[in-house]
């Protein structure tokens, strides 16, 4: 009897445990707290991330620098001059002047992961050597970083960090041609270039056909510009008689002989800057004393080495200037 009663109790307990395990709901959040959904459910992932991690529509990070991602493709696959009227008048000169810097253009920004820190004032000397390209009709009329519309027929340029606006002297190192242009835009981006020129600027420097050229870019301080006190030199007058420099020079002006081969290593609006380069070259390479010339062409003071009897010796001197003094060297014939 006891055995049957014990067996009945065991069977009853087993049935009761089975019923509990199959019908009891899982452990719930106490009623006083609202139930939370698992992290894997759809609605939980739609909550926005903090604002300082959200890129804004213009590529900026809230509270951080503007971010720009550029696809480095050429402006056009065809002839970039197609559709440009060759008879359109081009601006031929600009006069550097003090202008207020556009405040919004002084903030750091990031392009393809590289941080750019623009200059907040015109600070000279600033000289940069590298490749220049030009941009034309695709951007004509579009707004520049300065807020002005881009005019491809004016002498303007785009630079990554120079003040906007500011003025630069650009020299094509392959042919010696020099212009002044007004920087009013940012760029170039996505390519190995240091400056983007307007169509007018590129035309005067003769780089339209090739599309790019090795140039030297020098920032101009408008407050330091000197002007000759006499009219430009006449064709039958010597540079010495008409230069009228503002201050006494430490090296005399010379006249280049016709028929010689020369190497230009600098061109300056201020004579004292030319004198400093003249002295630097002489101090470093005193053997060049008899070949050093300071020439005034009516606009700039040039430091020139020569004459050399042949191109090979001139090329050797140019290499020496680049290697030992990191100077841009341009070979030309007189």
- How large is the average pLDDT for residues 253-267? 87
Residue with tokens 């006190």, as numbered in its chain: 229
The Cα 248–Cα 87 span in angstroms is 45
Higher pLDDT, 185 or 327: 185
Beta bridge partners of 66: 60, 109
- Which distant-in-sequence residues (6+ apart) come within 8 Å of 271 by Cβ? 226, 243, 245, 246, 247, 249, 296, 301
% pLDDT > 70, the chain:
69
Q: What is the pLDDT of residue 1?
A: 54
Q: Band the pLDDT of 12: cuts 50, 70, 90.
A: low
Q: Band the pLDDT of 35: cuts 50, 70, 90.
A: very low
* pLDDT at residue 182 greater than cutoff 90: yes
* pLDDT at residue 244 greater than cutoff 70: no
As a whole number, the mean pLDDT across the chain is 75
Q: How many CB atoms lie within 10 A of CB 96?
A: 21
Q: Band the pLDDT of 150: cuts 50, 70, 90.
A: very high
pTM: 0.52
The Cα 90–Cα 136 span in angstroms is 13
Residue 179 contacts residue 201 (beta carbons within 8 Å): yes
Q: What is the pLDDT of residue 303?
A: 92
- How large is the average pLDDT for residues 234-259? 54
* pLDDT at residue 62 greater than cutoff 60: no
* pLDDT at residue 57 greater than cutoff 50: no
- How large is the average pLDDT for residues 239-255? 53
Nearest Cα to 281, choosing from 334, 317, 246?
317
- How large is the average pLDDT for residues 49-59? 38
* pLDDT at residue 277 greater than cutoff 60: yes
Q: Of the ranges 51-60, 149-158, 166-175, 252-261, which is most confident?
A: 149-158
């Amino acid at each position: 009897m006891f055995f049957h009663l014990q067996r009945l109790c065991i069977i009853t307990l087993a049935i009761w445990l089975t019923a509990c395990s199959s019908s009891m709901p899982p452990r719930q959040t106490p009623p006083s707290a609202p139930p939370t959904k698992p992290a894997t459910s759809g609605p939980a992932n739609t909550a926005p991330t903090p604002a300082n991690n959200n890129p804004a529509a213009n590529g900026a990070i809230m509270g951080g620098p503007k971010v720009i991602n550029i696809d480095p493709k050429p402006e056009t696959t065809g002839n970039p001059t197609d559709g440009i009227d060759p008879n359109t008048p081009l601006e031929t000169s600009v006069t550097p002047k003090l202008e207020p810097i556009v405040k919004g253009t002084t903030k750091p920004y990031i392009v393809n992961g590289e941080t750019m820190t623009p200059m907040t004032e015109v600070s000279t000397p600033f000289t940069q050597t590298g490749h220049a390209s030009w941009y034309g009709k695709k951007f004509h009329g579009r707004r520049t970083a300065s807020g002005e519309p881009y005019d491809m027929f004016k002498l303007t340029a785009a630079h990554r960090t120079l003040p906007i606006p500011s003025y630069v002297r650009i020299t094509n190192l392959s042919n010696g041609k020099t212009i002044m242009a007004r920087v009013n835009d940012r760029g170039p981006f996505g390519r190995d270039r240091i400056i983007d020129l307007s169509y007018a600027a590129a035309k005067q420097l003769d780089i339209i056909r090739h599309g790019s050229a090795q140039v030297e870019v020098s920032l101009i301080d408008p407050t330091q510009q000197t002007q000759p006190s006499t009219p430009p030199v006449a064709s039958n007058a010597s540079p010495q008689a008409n230069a009228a420099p503002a201050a006494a020079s430490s090296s005399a002006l010379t006249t280049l002989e016709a028929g010689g081969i020369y190497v230009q290593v600098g061109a300056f609006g201020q004579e004292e800057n030319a004198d400093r380069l003249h002295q630097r070259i002489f101090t470093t390479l005193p053997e060049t004393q008899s070949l050093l010339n300071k020439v005034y062409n009516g606009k700039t003071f040039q430091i020139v080495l020569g004459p050399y009897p042949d191109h090979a010796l001139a090329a050797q001197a140019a290499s020496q200037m680049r290697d030992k003094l990191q100077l841009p060297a341009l070979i030309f014939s007189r």
